[in-house]
Structure 1
Amino acid sequence: MSKSALVTGVTGQDGSYLTELLLEKGYEVHGVIRRASTFNTDRIDHVYQDPHDPDQRLILHHGDLSDATMLVNLMRDVRPDEVYHLGAQSHVKVSFEMPEYTGDVTGLGTIRLLEAIRASGVDTRFYQASSSEMFGSTPPPQNEDTPFHPRSPYGAAKVYAYWATVNYREAYGMHATNGILFNHESPRRGETFVTRKITRAVARVAAGLQDYLYLGNLDAVRDWGYAKEYVEAQWLMLQQPMGDDYVVATGKAATVRDFVVEAFGHAGLDWEKHVRTDARYERPSEVDALIGDATKAKRQLGWEPKTDWRELARLMVDADRQQLEDQLSGKLVRVDR
């Protein structure tokens, strides 16, 4: 009998890649999506068929991480073998503008889901999408033993969710795991996140549709990996005999400026002619450097990254240029100068 998995944040970057992976492995996947006036399922439409098809192995459920009763009922109805909790308000800059909402969804949403698992009595394995933002101002390299010092409401909410996961593991013997993922990107990354903002701008500048790209701190150092590879680590964590905590990272550092240079250069563009800095895009409190040490994941999971940040930047530029070409279909209209 095939396994089943419940995925929150199924329509996001990680959720879509993880869903593909699970379906390839023969899982029945249940995804939680918020009810809205328009559907935001673009990233999973290619694997979501007719919901009335008896062979459909991706089932979508309307729900929200603020609704504890719904989560309990969903756990009882689905009874998944594995739960991947990827859903959150995950934009750091937005968390400064919506701190209470971020704390409710990203922090309390996690404990609502953990409590739903406990209250329903379903025997399942739980994955919490923790974040390198929890380390904040703690100097790199950062590993599983590095102290947390978050520098945003998002980072603080993730720290709460991290310790809630550890607590439910220790208090109730739950198979609960934290995956502390460092920045991971792809052509499916949200358009307001800095890497995707850069590669979309490269595509538009190359097409003559945009002149300038406005960014915040170009000197911030990050450890960028490929999201499609990182979801494999998430799956591997829940195949272990016991819950634990793992850092997932490349260990390679690059500044935002480095990523800009690589992305614009790949398209044959001089970045200095098109990139401007704007204080509006800077955080109230900056995280200067995040560089992960994934030694434990390599040793215990057998996981290693394959794509470095330079290859990732080129991959994303190519994808955004192709997407823009497909959208325009030969009809170029100059907008958003």
Structure 2
Amino acid sequence: MKRALICGVSGQDGSYLARLLISKGYEVFGSSRDAQMESFNNLQTLGIKGEVNLLSIATTDFRSVLQALSQVAPDEIYNLAGQSSVAMSFEQPLQTMESVGISTLNILEAIRFTGASTKFYNAGSGECFGAAAAQPCDENTPFRPRSPYAVAKAAAFWSVANYREAYGLNACTGILFNHESPLRPERFVTRKIIATAARIASGSGEKLHLGNLAISRDWGWAPEYVEAMWMMMQLDNAQDLVIATGRTCTLEEFVSAAFASVGLSWRDHVVTDESLFRPTDLNESRANPARAHQLLGWRAKNTMPEVVQRMMEAELGRSGAIHH
């Protein structure tokens, strides 16, 4: 029985990954900063909380990481911990760099220190490419990060590459573009849009306040992306790969699809709020996930319209407000 340790198991990706690994017969260990205080709502929602061995690891503390690795002795480690909001990174740049950059370094160093043959997956981000050229980004596109979050993710990416090349660690980074699900908290714009549209459809009378509607992103379905993570870890030679749908849509198109799915026109309910604009933002992100298809046989089945549909169905099921 393979053992996997998921750092950041309480988040969207960590919870879906835990479910996937359990279905594949893994013994799954999941950590959060304080497992006693954490509610693990997402694991509860997926009905798997009792099947995950929960433990506390402060990934920013090397001793804490080393202790956990010695205790669990995992075959695979998935590092999905760390501050995950681009918007929040502008408010908390130092905490973002520590929770993303330093945490990744601590896990790599602990694997090297123990001499274990543990495979390591690191959660990278398409945000690292920043304002890349109009060309879709692939594994050879240079990074030009435009947020503290992207800077931290870029630092983590190069740490992984460095440990792989210098010490022969089986370590890879999945450069994931935006991927959504009903498990996203409402501070993420996609879930905020879905939840607000559902409330408006049931008569809340509120307005949805959004920033720049002209930005465009590649939005995928999170449960598919964790499959790509697992597939990356099964390669004999670790490879960094771009994981995305390859299809880019504007935020306005996302909003329009969300309101249309509950029979409303978004223009009647959305207010552009300049206070929600970011200091620097990516106007457009485009991805070329061809290499992942070539090496893993992985391809996204759900693109933005299906993602909106699935999130809305879950939202309406959650609120029980209206049925379509």
Tell me: CA distance 1:191–1:72, structure 2 relative to 1, closer, same or farther (3 Å). same
Is 1:115 aligned to residue 112 of structure 2? no
- Residues of 2 paired with 1:33 and 1:280: CA distance? 32
- Residues of 2 paired with 1:44 and 1:111: CA distance? 27
Tell me: CA distance 1:44–1:275, structure 2 relative to 1, closer, same or farther (3 Å). same
- Residues of 2 paired with 1:36 and 1:75: CA distance? 16
* 1:156-185: CA deviation from partner (whole Å, max 9, x where unpaired): 000000000000000110000110000000
One-letter identity of the residue aligned with 1:99: P
Is 1:211 aligned to residue 206 of structure 2? yes
- Which residue matches 2:12? 13
SS at match of 1:166: helix
- Which residue matches 2:310? 315
Note the aligned Cα RMSD (angstroms): 1.3
What are structure 2's unaligned runs of at least 5 residues? none
- Residues of 1 paired with 2:37 and 2:104: CA distance? 25
Q: Which moved more, 1:101-110 or 1:203-212?
A: 203-212
One-letter identity of the residue aligned with 2:285: L
- Residues of 2 paired with 1:15 and 1:156: CA distance? 22
- Residues of 1 paired with 2:273 and 2:104: CA distance? 34
- Which residue matches 1:100? 94
Give the structure-2-normalised TM-score: 0.96
- Which residue matches 1:160? 155
- Residues of 2 paired with 1:286 and 1:118: CA distance? 37
- Which residue matches 2:221? 226
Q: CA deviation at 1:101?
A: 0.5
Q: CA deviation at 1:66?
A: 1.5
Is 1:279 aligned to residue 265 of structure 2? no
Percent identity of paired positions between Structure 1 and Structure 2 = 45
User: Could you tell me which of 171, 185, 196 is aligned with 2:191?
Assistant: 196
Q: CA deviation at 1:209?
A: 2.2
Say if 2:32 and 2:38, in contact at 8 Å, map to a contact too.
Answer: no
Q: CA deviation at 1:271?
A: 0.6
- Which residue matches 2:120? 126
Is 1:48 aligned to residue 49 of structure 2? yes
Runs of 4+ in 1 over 6 A off after TM superposition: none
Q: CA deviation at 1:228?
A: 0.3
Say if 1:178 and 1:246, in contact at 8 Å, map to a contact too.
Answer: yes
Is 1:71 aligned to residue 65 of structure 2? yes
Q: CA deviation at 1:210?
A: 4.3
* Alignment length (residue pairs): 319
One-letter identity of the residue aligned with 2:229: Q
One-letter identity of the residue aligned with 1:114: L
Give the structure-1-normalised TM-score: 0.92
Q: CA deviation at 1:38?
A: 4.2
What are structure 1's unaligned runs of at least 5 residues? 50-56, 329-337
Say if 2:62 and 2:110, in contact at 8 Å, map to a contact too.
Answer: yes
- Which residue matches 1:181? 176
Q: CA deviation at 1:203?
A: 0.9
